[in-house]
């Protein structure tokens, strides 16, 4: 049985190598995933790393896709795109430098909590580097349990995200 189409949002980030080119390539690959199409992509933003590890700033963006892939299949496809860009989750340090990080932020308005997958992303409401690009392309996107993306961003105390030209 076919899964009905779902609008999902993917967070993209990277800070190793030419992160700008990597994110643009990853957006192209998202549009080529089976039964998936890229609907919108935010601007690219330069943001400070989180997690307390000394490393370069990140380049971040958010993509809006339409897919009929179930959430866990979509997540596995995202891991494949990461691997194609040189990411090896098995050897990297948590919150450390990486070539490409793809996070399934929202999957429709579903709340999913299964092994290895939590949607909405567990820290979405505290991460300006996700919320700023999300609000750029979908300010009224519902973040289950929190409200609209615009409302959640408005509730943050302070943040800095530098849009790249």
Catalogue all structural domains in the chain, each as residue range(s) with its CATH number: 6-163 (3.30.70.560)
Q: Is 87 a catalytic residue?
A: yes
Which residue in the list 18, 31, 35, 103 is annotated as catalytic?
103
User: pTM for the full model?
Assistant: 0.92
Q: What are phi and psi of 81, to 5 degrees?
A: -65, -40
Which residue in the list 31, 35, 37, 98 is annotated as catalytic?
98
Q: Is 94 a catalytic residue?
A: no
Distance CA 133, CA 135 (A): 5
Q: Is 103 a catalytic residue?
A: yes
Burial 100-111 (b: 16+ CB within 10 A, else e): bbbbbbbbbeee
Q: Are 37 and 74 in contact (CB under 8 A)?
A: no
pLDDT in single tens digits along all 165 residues of the chain? 567 899 999 999 999 999 999 999 999 999 999 999 999 999 999 988 877 678 889 999 999 999 999 999 999 999 999 999 987 777 666 666 788 999 999 999 999 999 889 999 988 998 999 999 999 999 999 999 999 999 999 998 767 677 776
Q: Is 83 a catalytic residue?
A: no
Q: What is the pLDDT of residue 95?
A: 65
């Amino acid at each position: 049985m076919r899964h009905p189409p779902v609008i999902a949002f993917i967070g993209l980030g990277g800070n190793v190598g030419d992160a700008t080119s990597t994110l643009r390539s990853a957006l192209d690959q998202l549009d080529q995933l089976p039964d998936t199409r890229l609907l919108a992509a935010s601007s690219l933003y330069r943001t400070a790393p989180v997690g307390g590890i000394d490393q370069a700033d990140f380049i971040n963006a958010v993509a809006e896709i339409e897919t009929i892939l179930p959430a866990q299949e979509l997540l596995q496809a995202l891991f494949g795109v990461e691997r194609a860009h040189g990411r090896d989750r098995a050897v990297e340090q948590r919150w450390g430098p990486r070539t490409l990080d793809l996070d399934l932020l929202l999957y429709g308005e579903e709340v999913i909590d299964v092994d290895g997958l939590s949607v909405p992303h567990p820290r979405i409401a505290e991460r300006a580097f996700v919320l700023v690009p999300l609000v750029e392309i979908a300010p009224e996107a519902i973040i289950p349990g929190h409200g609209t993306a615009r409302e959640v961003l408005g509730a943050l105390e302070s943040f800095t995200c530098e849009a790249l030209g």
